């Protein structure tokens, strides 16, 4: 796997940033989470006047071999159908991207389908879907390396186009199953607490999903390291997202984190480079049953609780105006001295 040079944001300016925020014309702490966000973004960018430029939502897409075991309510062909909906501007994240000024980049990392050439679809296909990890490793080490590199390269392109705040989304039937396995293996949280309804399984469906994943874990003979879990139980689009997140942190970008699947990608990325976590802003806590548990494990405080469980980056894009408000607060509010207001508590 390629290496990344990720440094935690220098805290040398932290107290001066706090002083600026606390001297804005308002009671101390009265803008709540906007204040902590402004502090975080100021530290990421190492400035007292942070900016948000050219926000991008990158959607990595791929199919999962484990989907053949009926772990999702949706059939595998839905992956390619939803990609066409992305390209036609009709998906949930599409209207949110238009509303909040995001560019969308759609990346075919491993969809089990041959798409005709389309300038709006970025072809980085590693293979046509992963293998079925109920029976064998989902990916080879070489495929992991390629997915990490491709995911990182897309972020480099965004950065070179002027982006400094990036959101990640995903499309791939079966990826809540893969996320549940990653979550269990990396946190030790009981598998039953990691497995949820995904795209809409009923109680019997969730029970079947759990049984399949339990059997896959029982069959696993690896060493349990993050690198081995990534390879054996990987989803191509999820591994690409790990590479993208690590590259974004290396470049000092703000990382907006979406739902259950992308939160587990942060979990995986942070096992390799814990110093990437300060670059992450968690957009929301969704309805997938394991999402709150993995957020709590990471010590993450999500911005929204709207019952979302779409994926695609929808929750992080939806939360973006709150991030923008935090930046406007630190840049546009007057201090007590500027406003000629007596400092009050």
- Whether 312 is catalytic is yes
Q: Which one of 8, 103, 312, 324 is the catalytic residue?
A: 312
**Dist CA 69 CA 112 (whole Å):** 16
CA gyration radius, the chain = 20
* Residue 24 DSSP code: B
Cβ proximity of 251 and 271 under 8 Å: no
For the purposes of burial, counting CB atoms within 10 Å of the CB of 191, is it exposed (0-12), middle (13-18) or buried (19 or more)? middle
- CA-wise closest residue to 6 among 249, 340, 182, 332: 249
Tell me how far apart the alpha carbons of residues 140 and 213 are, in angstroms, rounded to a whole number: 20
User: Cβ(137)–Cβ(220) under 8 Å?
Assistant: no
Cβ(259)–Cβ(180) under 8 Å? no
Which residues does residue 284 pair with via DSSP β-bridges, in sequence order? Answer: 304
Give whole-number Cα distances, 212 to 68, 178, 307, 315, 324, in Å: 11, 11, 27, 29, 42
**Which of 133, 129, 130 lies closest to 219, judged by CA?**
133
Q: How far apart are CA 45 and CA 251, in angstroms?
A: 10
- Which residues does the annotation mark as catalytic? 312
């Amino acid at each position: 796997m390629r290496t990344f040079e990720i440094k935690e944001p220098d805290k040398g300016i932290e107290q001066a940033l706090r002083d600026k925020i606390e001297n804005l014309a308002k009671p101390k702490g009265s803008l709540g989470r906007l204040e902590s966000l402004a502090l975080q973004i100021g530290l990421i960018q190492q400035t007292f006047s942070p900016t948000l430029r050219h926000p991008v939502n990158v959607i990595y897409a791929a199919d999962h071999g484990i989907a053949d075991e009926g772990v999702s309510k949706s059939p595998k062909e839905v992956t390619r159908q939803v990609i066409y909906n992305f390209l036609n501007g009709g998906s949930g994240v599409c209207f949110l991207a238009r509303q909040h000024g995001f560019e969308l980049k759609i990346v075919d990392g491993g969809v089990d389908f041959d798409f005709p050439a389309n300038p709006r679809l970025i072809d980085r296909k590693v293979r046509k879907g992963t293998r079925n990890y109920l029976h064998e490793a989902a990916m080879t080490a070489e495929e992991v390396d390629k997915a990490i590199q491709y995911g990182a390269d897309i972020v480099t392109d965004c950065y070179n186009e002027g982006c400094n705040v990036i959101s990640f989304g995903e499309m791939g039937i079966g990826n809540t199953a893969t996320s549940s396995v990653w979550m269990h293996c990396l946190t030790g949280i009981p598998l039953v607490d990691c497995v949820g309804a995904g795209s809409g399984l009923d109680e019997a469906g969730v029970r079947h999903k759990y049984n399949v994943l339990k059997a896959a874990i029982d069959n696993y003979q690896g060493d349990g390291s993050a690198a081995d879990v990534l390879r054996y139980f990987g989803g191509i689009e999820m591994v690409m997202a790990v590479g993208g997140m690590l590259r974004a942190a290396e470049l000092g970008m703000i990382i907006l984190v979406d739902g259950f699947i992308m939160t587990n990608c942060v979990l995986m990325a942070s096992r390799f480079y814990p110093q990437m976590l300060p670059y992450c802003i968690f957009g929301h806590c969704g309805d997938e049953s394991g999402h709150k548990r993995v957020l709590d494990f990471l010590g993450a405080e999500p911005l929204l609780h709207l019952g979302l469980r779409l994926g695609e980056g929808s929750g992080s894009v939806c939360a973006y105006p709150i991030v923008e408000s935090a930046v406007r607060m630190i840049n546009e509010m007057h201090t007590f001295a500027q406003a000629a207001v007596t400092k009050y508590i």
